[in-house]
A = this chain, B = another copy of it.
Amino acid sequence: MNTPAIIDIARICKEHGLRLTAPRKVIMQVLLKSTDHPDAVELHRRVRKIDPGIAIATVYRTVNMLRDKGVLERHTFADGRARYETADHEHHDHLVRVDTGDVIEFRSDEIERLQEEIARAHGFEIVSHRLEIYVKPLKKAAKRSRR
């Protein structure tokens, strides 16, 4: 299982009427194997390790197209840059360590349910949501990082 997701990439493209081009294959592969949440520049950095000829414009175009199709999710954490993640996982929220920047995924059905209640109480239904909890380790105090 070296390229476990290659089939899925082909399928995703076919489903959405997209051409299966070399740059797209590389970009989507990198995204699928990323467990963190890279921004466009970091994504481009990783992509060009595989194929140095791929332009950052293509990364942006691919990523925007996949977001429009609902294949990708764009997050914007506190640092302000857009960061991406494949949307094929089950939904989850994020714990973000303020000391290291590490992102830990979690899911709470209780919180999900409460959100439904709140939305309904206001006369709405939920389209999507995001919850980020910024944390530091319990025992040791963490340094604050600026910007």
A binding-site residues for B, Cβ under 8 Å? 64, 68, 74, 76-78, 80, 82, 95, 97-98, 104, 106, 108, 110-111, 114-115, 118-120, 122-138, 142, 146-147
Contact = CB atoms under 8 A, between A and B. Distances in A.
Nearest to A82: B80
Contacts of A77: 76
Contact of A111 (B98, B111, B126, B136): B111
A76 B80 contact: yes
Given A68-B146, A80-B82, A127-B136, A114 B122 contact: no
Contacts of A137: 123-125
9 contacts: A74-B80, A80-B82, A95-B118, A95-B124, A108-B118, A111-B114, A123-B137, A125-B137, A129-B133
B130 A135 contact: no
Nearest to A133: B129
